[in-house]
Structure 1
Amino acid sequence: MLAVAGVMGLALTGAVACSSDDGGTAKDPDSAECQPFKDYQGHSGTEVTAYSSIRDVESDKLDQSWKLFEDCTGIDIQHEGDGAFEAQVQVRSDGGNAPDLAFFPQPGLLQRFATAGKLKEASAKTKETAQKNFSTDWLNYGTVAGKFYAAPLGSNVKSFVWYSPGLFKEKSWAVPQTFDEMIQLSDKVASGGGGISPWCVGLESQDATGWPATDWLEDVILRDHGPDVYDQWVQHKIPFNDPRIVSSLDKVGSIIKNNKYVGDPKREVTTSFQEGGLPVKDKKCAMHRQASFYANQWPDGTKVAQDGDVYAFYFPAVDPAKGKPVLAAGEFVAAFADRPEVQAVQAYLASSEWALSRAKLGSWVSANKNVPVETFESPIDKLSVQILQDPKSVLRFDGSDLMPGSVGAGTFWKQMIEWVNGKDSAATLAAIEASWPK
């Protein structure tokens, strides 16, 4: 692995052999820097389209991460990120305009497409590569009815609270170690004046508006009731509106619907998730609960570190003695086409070579067990990987992403917005329960 990483690091600064027709660079496929891509060659001049919800800076880094692969294989990967991915991937598929590859952030949505016969089973090469690099739990999320369709792409830890180390130092605030300590800190900030809000929240995300609120509920259920109840709820073995779930939603409401903590909660609905936490950097907001990938949303020049402009602490457990509940998520690379060049790209994206390339660009986390922690340069990335690998972590995948798409990427998102706008917890959860496919 170290030898491959060294070759790839050298290749990123190596000389260009010649220009390609699409304005990129082509390299001698027999050169030393192209040796890691030998298994993927033989498809020069082809194009593979990829479609995902990954946009902006993260999308640019994807393009950089597979640039050397493109130069050494001659395969042109055309990636499109779309904030309306969950709805539009269905529209494109139904209209006969499906992408070659789709990066599904919801295993539940992936399962729907696989069950409908829309996806191609992964090649033997992709499956073999994925089995070398990922745990059984992660592989199972890309498996439907015993058939393997998709390996993980990126991963993220959702159980984080972003804050300003400088502000905490100025105010002598300690990073909370338990949920109760976090509420006590919230009360202290709320009563302290100075124009600082305890919490800032952004729920708008185009067609996916509402998903940050579902993350809040899932994290709190894990902390209130543990992984077994969480699993039963996600799998609909208990009703969506079980009294324990109602109680957890009320607890979430005590924070993000609390005027003393957030001002007018209805502003959250029109504040984009990208902008939701920015007041933290300006020291106008003390805390913002959001995933590790939020590191990409801070303005250029922001130092993300324990001694930096912003950093994140673990969203604390109610009872740390019972373990460390962790909510995680990620994308899975599934194929609508099985042309040889598509299979080559899908296999490459399951490899440790690609994960190493993407990790070196920063602001990204992988569940790939063959990528060492030290490869991740950003402090928040390292912290995320350490949490994922911590034996005390009680890891669960994002619940809404595992649910049937019509619920997890549909009524759950929509009803949480109605809830923020004033609907009570019991009625909100009852409406989602009524929408569960019979």
Structure 2
Amino acid sequence: MMRRAAMRRTVATTAAALGLALTATACGGGDTKSSSGEQELKGQTVNVAGVWTGVEMKNFKKVLEAFSEKTGAKANFIPTGDNVSTVIGSKIEGGNAPDVVMVPQVGVIKQFAQKGWLKPLSKEVSRKAGATFATVWKKYGTVDGTYYGLYFKASHKSTVWYSPQAFEQAGVEPPKSYDEMLKMGKTVSDSGLPAFSVGGEDGWTLTDWFENIYLSQAGPEMYDKLAAHTIPWTDPSVVKALTTLGKLFGDKNLVAGGQSGALRTDFPESVEQVFGNEPKAGMVYEGDFVGGLVSGQFKKTVGEDARFFPFPAVDGKKPPVVSGGDAAVVLKAGKNQKAAMALVDYLAGEEAAAVWAKAGGFVSPNTHLQSSAYKDETTRAIGESLVDAGDNVRFDMSDQAPAAFGGTVGTGEWKALQDFLKDPSDPKATAGKLEAAAAKAYKD
């Protein structure tokens, strides 16, 4: 959970992502049985728990308000903090379980399901999700053949953000391949500004670098096998991906501050190094949430002062689309099952997605959401890219892994990749460290 926590604490401190104004206007067609205005759930209450705080929480509350206006049900949001599993477990044991939980990791859905905490989503929700989401999103919400989690909010983690001024100064254009990106990066560095800012102090940023390269280079099937640990991290495909990543990490002229400087740079600082008042790099790789920092914390205009290009294809393969997301699950211990399922049904439709899309800081995997719902052109492009990827989207690999391997400071994948950033000369040795850590975590 620490990886998600780092991102959420960053985003929660900003104004609405990409500088969009908050609004509670709902649009689109009816999505629930109550769409006729009969307010069939009037008098009922649904309690929703999730990790969102700050702007994210305010915007989600607008979605809940729209649901309440439509159905008559009262909807309350309960912040859990970052440790969702512990908080929800305590509430269930105390007889005070929420009705719906917005779960931020595939692994947590599996954990909840294995504990017997979850109620399968209704056939109606399943049918709607089948019509409005790519199959892969239902897959990530399914455990042992049972559909539990409806993915409502997504993130696009295959975006490289750059300073147009830095590119203009160097006379370069966004690249189409990884090798071209490295070549272009050297041109940027030669113009007087290091090409990349790398937030190596936050180990999760390094896992994202690896995942994008691996997904493009090795392909979706191998990515799925590695995510499930059905192939070891010593597999040649992993060594090859590390070697490819090492071409960037090992070039001190490409990385702002060199390897040692990158290891002292956290994620917000990596964005500041590109878009702050004193630029120290021309580009920073991370997800669509970079835009929230750019507009909210650094007061720059996304689309003008900050632009992005898709993470480029590796070795002539397809460009990667790595994602994350938050899924709505219904707890068996909740006291308001009808209202809970009605809410998830509402979240499966384009109307709910449009509410948050208009508020900003949101990308939806819903294929029925009109791209015009995103008022900002950059967010629109990101949303369209995510939907267009269809079943080629792959969920963040480290978020699928046990936390001891994929989400803990100072150990597992985070530590191994930080050590690799410090010295990328031996990809095989790094693969061995990764496998040793993964074998222990998956066994436990």
Residue of 280, 288, 291 corresponding to 2:274: 280
1:12 aligns with 2:10: no
Closer, same or farther in 2 for the Cα pair 1:202/1:91, shift >3 Å? farther
User: What is the CA–CA distance in structure 2 between the aligned matches of 1:293 and 1:10, rounded to whole Å?
Assistant: 19
* CA contact 2:136–2:393 (8 Å) conserved in 1: no
What does residue 359 of structure 1 align with? 357
Length, aligned pairs only: 400
* CA contact 1:304–1:311 (8 Å) conserved in 2: yes
Closer, same or farther in 2 for the Cα pair 1:374/1:100, shift >3 Å? same
What does residue 156 of structure 2 align with? 157
Structure 1 length-normalised TM:
0.80
Closer, same or farther in 2 for the Cα pair 1:185/1:96, shift >3 Å? farther
Closer, same or farther in 2 for the Cα pair 1:276/1:63, shift >3 Å? farther
User: What is the CA–CA distance in structure 1 between the aligned matches of 2:40 and 2:267, rounded to whole Å?
Assistant: 40
Residues 108-147 of structure 1 mapped to structure 2, 5 A cutoff: 108-147=107-146
- Equivalent residue of 1:222, what SS? helix
- Equivalent residue of 2:393, what SS? strand
What does residue 302 of structure 1 align with? 300
1:51 aligns with 2:19: no
1:377 aligns with 2:370: no
What does residue 395 of structure 1 align with? 393
> In angstroms, what is the RMSD of aligned CA positions?
3.2
User: What is the CA–CA distance in structure 2 between the aligned matches of 1:126 and 1:361, rounded to whole Å?
Assistant: 25
User: What is the CA–CA distance in structure 2 between the aligned matches of 1:132 and 1:297, rounded to whole Å?
Assistant: 34
* CA contact 1:159–1:328 (8 Å) conserved in 2: yes
The superposition leaves residues 309-338 of structure 1 with CA deviations (integer Å, 9 ceiling, x where unpaired) of 101101111244x43332222221112244
User: What is the CA–CA distance in structure 1 between the aligned matches of 2:390 and 2:103, rounded to whole Å?
Assistant: 28
Closer, same or farther in 2 for the Cα pair 1:392/1:122, shift >3 Å? closer
Post-superposition offset of 1:179: 0.7
What does residue 5 of structure 2 align with? none
State the percentage of identical aligned residues: 29
User: What is the CA–CA distance in structure 1 between the aligned matches of 2:147 and 2:241, rounded to whole Å?
Assistant: 35
* CA contact 1:43–1:341 (8 Å) conserved in 2: no
- Equivalent residue of 2:195, what SS? strand
Post-superposition offset of 1:227: 2.3
User: What is the CA–CA distance in structure 1 between the aligned matches of 2:414 and 2:102, rounded to whole Å?
Assistant: 20
User: What is the CA–CA distance in structure 1 between the aligned matches of 2:313 and 2:36, rounded to whole Å?
Assistant: 44
User: What is the CA–CA distance in structure 2 between the aligned matches of 1:203 and 1:102, rounded to whole Å?
Assistant: 31
Closer, same or farther in 2 for the Cα pair 1:298/1:83, shift >3 Å? farther
Post-superposition offset of 1:384: 1.9
1:333 aligns with 2:328: yes
User: In the alignment, residue 313 of structure 2 is paired with which amino acid?
Assistant: A
The superposition leaves residues 105-163 of structure 1 with CA deviations (integer Å, 9 ceiling, x where unpaired) of 22122112101212222234433432332222211211112221111111222111000
User: What is the CA–CA distance in structure 1 between the aligned matches of 2:114 and 2:39, rounded to whole Å?
Assistant: 29
* CA contact 1:49–1:78 (8 Å) conserved in 2: yes
Q: Which has the higher contact order (CA 8 A, sep 6+)?
A: 2
Post-superposition offset of 1:215: 1.1
Closer, same or farther in 2 for the Cα pair 1:38/1:124, shift >3 Å? farther
User: What is the CA–CA distance in structure 2 between the aligned matches of 1:79 and 1:70, rounded to whole Å?
Assistant: 16
What does residue 187 of structure 1 align with? 186
User: What is the CA–CA distance in structure 1 between the aligned matches of 2:101 and 2:261, rounded to whole Å?
Assistant: 33
- Equivalent residue of 2:190, what SS? helix
* CA contact 1:363–1:378 (8 Å) conserved in 2: no
1:323 aligns with 2:321: no
1:198 aligns with 2:195: yes
* CA contact 2:273–2:281 (8 Å) conserved in 1: yes
Residue of 288, 312, 324 corresponding to 2:308: 312
What does residue 11 of structure 2 align with? none
Where in structure 1 are there 5+ consecutive unaligned residues? 1-8, 14-33
User: In the alignment, residue 341 of structure 1 is paired with which amino acid?
Assistant: A
What does residue 204 of structure 2 align with? 211
- Equivalent residue of 1:230, what SS? helix
User: What is the CA–CA distance in structure 2 between the aligned matches of 1:313 and 1:343, rounded to whole Å?
Assistant: 38
User: What is the CA–CA distance in structure 2 between the aligned matches of 1:47 and 1:405, rounded to whole Å?
Assistant: 30
User: What is the CA–CA distance in structure 2 between the aligned matches of 1:125 and 1:10, rounded to whole Å?
Assistant: 29
What does residue 434 of structure 2 align with? 429
- Equivalent residue of 1:285, what SS? coil
Closer, same or farther in 2 for the Cα pair 1:342/1:387, shift >3 Å? same
What does residue 28 of structure 1 align with? none
Closer, same or farther in 2 for the Cα pair 1:224/1:171, shift >3 Å? same
What does residue 102 of structure 1 align with? 101
Closer, same or farther in 2 for the Cα pair 1:426/1:35, shift >3 Å? closer
Post-superposition offset of 1:181: 1.2
* CA contact 2:170–2:187 (8 Å) conserved in 1: no
* CA contact 2:295–2:302 (8 Å) conserved in 1: no
- Equivalent residue of 1:355, what SS? helix
User: What is the CA–CA distance in structure 1 between the aligned matches of 2:92 and 2:259, rounded to whole Å?
Assistant: 37
1:412 aligns with 2:413: yes
Moved more, 41-50 or 219-228: 41-50
* CA contact 1:323–1:394 (8 Å) conserved in 2: no
Structure 2 length-normalised TM:
0.79
* CA contact 1:366–1:385 (8 Å) conserved in 2: yes
User: In the alignment, residue 143 of structure 1 is paired with which amino acid?
Assistant: T
What does residue 220 of structure 1 align with? 213
